[in-house]
Chains A and B, each alone.
Chain A
Amino acid sequence: MSEALKGHLDLMLLAILEGGPAHGYAVIDELARRSREAFDLPEGTVYPALHRLEADGLLASRWIPHGGRRRRVYELSRRGRRELARRRDEWRVFHEAVDLVVEPAR
């Protein structure tokens, strides 16, 4: 599961952040909630993915104060929104094509 997930993690992270700014824990929490905890994902590996998406210009981040410490909050950049739309279309086409192959009777 984890290798298959790795390929789609970027799309899911972008989709979660489409709802608004969130810190890493909230993103991971939302990923578990939406997937009904289907993914066996070491949570710490989500942070490198968030950093990479930011380095690619798809996310922006900033520190905010929270309970006496600082918290890094991520949000989609304008480019990130465009990329999310593109990857979503790509996913739909891919998903439908795989369905046609593996479940031809439907």
Chain B
Amino acid sequence: MTAGVLSAFLDRVRAELEARGRAPERLLAELEDHLLERVSRLRARGFEASRAEREAVLDLGPPELIARRYDEEVPRALSLEVFMSPIAMALAALTSLGALLVAVHSLFLDPEGGPLWMAVKVGQSLAVIAAGALIVRHRVAPGRTTAALLLAGAVWLQVSGGAGFAWTLHLAEVTGDLEAWGLVLTLALAAQGALVTGSLWRERTRPA
């Protein structure tokens, strides 16, 4: 547990970083580790606790300077949190809408291929919509969907997107008619699954 002086310092760094629109968790965890080690070493050299904490904080430098350097030096583009959420949401909306259209088309407009094939298409469409809903739910209310469920959904999206992509290309070879919407939808599925997997990985490696 971080002592008063140290936690006040870390709160100021957090505020400075958040004011710049940066996600500070990893840096804060490293600064906390640094401060605790510094205090422990100073205490071993005979410093009284409160003086050791003040020295440790002074050595790190002003919170504003640390946050400014971080903001100037660390590229935003690599912070997935900054752009992944809108992209994942857009993909979830696109694939869910596409899946809904496929289901409506299979059921009402062109019910070809017998009941089994129709059930497969409608079932897959509903599963895509469910995965999209899971992802949106996770973005809107983090923590209410388990990581295992999200990962299962992400893997399924990638497998189903990859298989659908191969199937669309195969059909194009057989019929000579390439269905571009099929390619877009299946690629979007795979991308959506990859984004969620990447997001879960980032969350796994982020400090608690």
Give the interface of A toward B (CB within 8 A): 23-25, 28, 42-45, 47-49, 51-52, 55, 62-63, 66, 69-72
Contacts and interface: CB of A to CB of B under 8 A. Distances in A.
Nearest to B26: A72
Contacts of B87: none
A90 B19 CA distance: 38
B33 A48 contact: no
A48 B66 CA distance: 8
Interface in B65-122: 65-66, 69-70, 72-75, 78
B62 A48 contact: no
Given A51-B27, A63-B205, A72-B26, A25 B73 contact: no
B11 interface: no
B66 A25 contact: no
Interface of B: 13, 26-27, 29-34, 36-38, 59-63, 65-66, 69-70, 72-75, 78, 205, 207-208
Select the residue from B29, B34, B63, B70 with max chain A CB neighbours within 10 A: B34
Given A55-B78, A63-B207, A70-B207, A43 B70 contact: no
B33 A25 contact: yes
Given A25-B37, A55-B74, A72-B29, 5 more contacts: A25-B33, A43-B59, A44-B31, A47-B34, A52-B75
B41 to A, nearest CB: 9
Given A25-B33, A25-B37, A70-B207, A45 B78 contact: no
Contacts of B75: 52, 55
A24 to B, nearest CB: 5
